[in-house]
């Protein structure tokens, strides 16, 4: 069958079409909601020079956290089923020089809208691969406060199962496949359950 893939390489986004058996690619996620629906996070790319053939150099990825707005004061109130949102804070990643950004990620945002966790989209490649980046709001700007590596989540037995030949395909499961992500009720911890059933609580504060 025909498979269209978007491959990220340093400073490039390349679109190619392959005719080969394959599995569906991990979807591109540009909007995610907090569990309680009060906040959403959006992401978009800043494109650079035209590389030809419809491809552009990707310079930055910008993340913005938006909060649901209720217009309910007596002077301005009106009735509608439409939801309104306002931007609360943002941060960006340099896609041209940041190896983390090259593999792709998806965001998780806490119920209080104060923290965003970026989850690395990749198969388990090494015990030291970076799997989470945690950003916390400081005013209107997000600040990186923690990074988390695979060996902080997986047991030694699980780490020993990582292939050593680096032969990954579109059928290779993502490192988080079969697991679960949840936040604690106070939004201070990310609770990750691995595919083997062990649970790890990750602090959402600086190291």
Q: Which of 23-27, 80-84, 108-112, 183-187 is predicted least confidently?
A: 23-27
Is the pLDDT assigned to residue 56 strictly greater than 80?
A: no
Is the pLDDT assigned to residue 21 strictly greater than 60?
A: no
- Do residues 5 and 24 make contact, with C-beta atoms less than 8 angstroms apart? no
Does residue 104 or residue 12 have the better pLDDT? 104
pLDDT of residue 139: 96
Rounded percentage of the chain residues whose pLDDT exceeds 70: 80
pLDDT of residue 68: 94
- What are the Cα distances from residue 52, in Å, to 6, 12, 43, 78, 122? 15, 11, 24, 49, 28
How far is CA 151 from its chain centroid? 19
pLDDT of residue 50: 77
Q: Per-residue confidence at 132, pLDDT binned at 50, 70, 90?
A: very high
Q: Per-residue confidence at 199, pLDDT binned at 50, 70, 90?
A: very high
Distance separating alpha carbons of residues 201 and 95, to the nearest angstrom: 29
Cβ atoms < 10 Å from Cβ of 147: 14
pLDDT digits (tens, 9 = 90+) for 70-95: 877 777 777 788 889 999 999 998 76
- Do residues 72 and 78 make contact, with C-beta atoms less than 8 angstroms apart? no
pLDDT of residue 117: 97
Q: Average the pLDDT over 22-27 and give the result.
A: 70
Any idea where the domains of the chain sit in the sequence?
2-171
Is the pLDDT assigned to residue 186 strictly greater than 80?
A: yes
Q: Average the pLDDT over 50-59 and give the result.
A: 75
Rounded percentage of the chain residues whose pLDDT exceeds 90: 54
The whole model's pTM is what?
0.80
Is the pLDDT assigned to residue 169 strictly greater than 90?
A: no
Q: Average the pLDDT over 184-206 and give the result.
A: 95
């Amino acid at each position: 069958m025909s498979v269209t893939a978007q491959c990220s390489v340093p400073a490039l986004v390349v679109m190619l079409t392959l005719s080969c058996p394959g599995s569906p690619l991990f979807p591109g996620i540009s909007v995610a909601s907090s569990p309680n629906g009060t906040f959403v996070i959006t992401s978009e790319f800043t494109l650079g020079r035209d590389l030809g053939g419809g491809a552009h150099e990707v310079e930055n990825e910008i993340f913005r956290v938006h909060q649901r707005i209720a217009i309910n004061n007596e002077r301005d109130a009106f009735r509608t089923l439409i939801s309104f949102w306002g931007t609360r804070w943002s941060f960006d990643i340099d896609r041209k020089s940041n190896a983390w950004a090259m593999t792709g990620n998806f965001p998780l945002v806490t119920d209080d809208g104060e923290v965003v966790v970026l989850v690395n989209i990749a198969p388990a490649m090494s015990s030291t691969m970076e799997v989470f980046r945690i950003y916390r709001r400081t005013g209107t700007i997000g600040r990186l406060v923690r990074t988390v590596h695979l060996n902080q989540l997986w047991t030694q037995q699980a780490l020993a199962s990582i292939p050593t030949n680096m032969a990954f395909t579109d059928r290779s499961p993502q490192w988080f496949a079969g697991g679960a992500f949840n936040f604690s009720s106070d939004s201070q911890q990310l609770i990750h359950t691995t595919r083997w059933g062990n649970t790890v609580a990750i602090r959402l504060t600086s190291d």
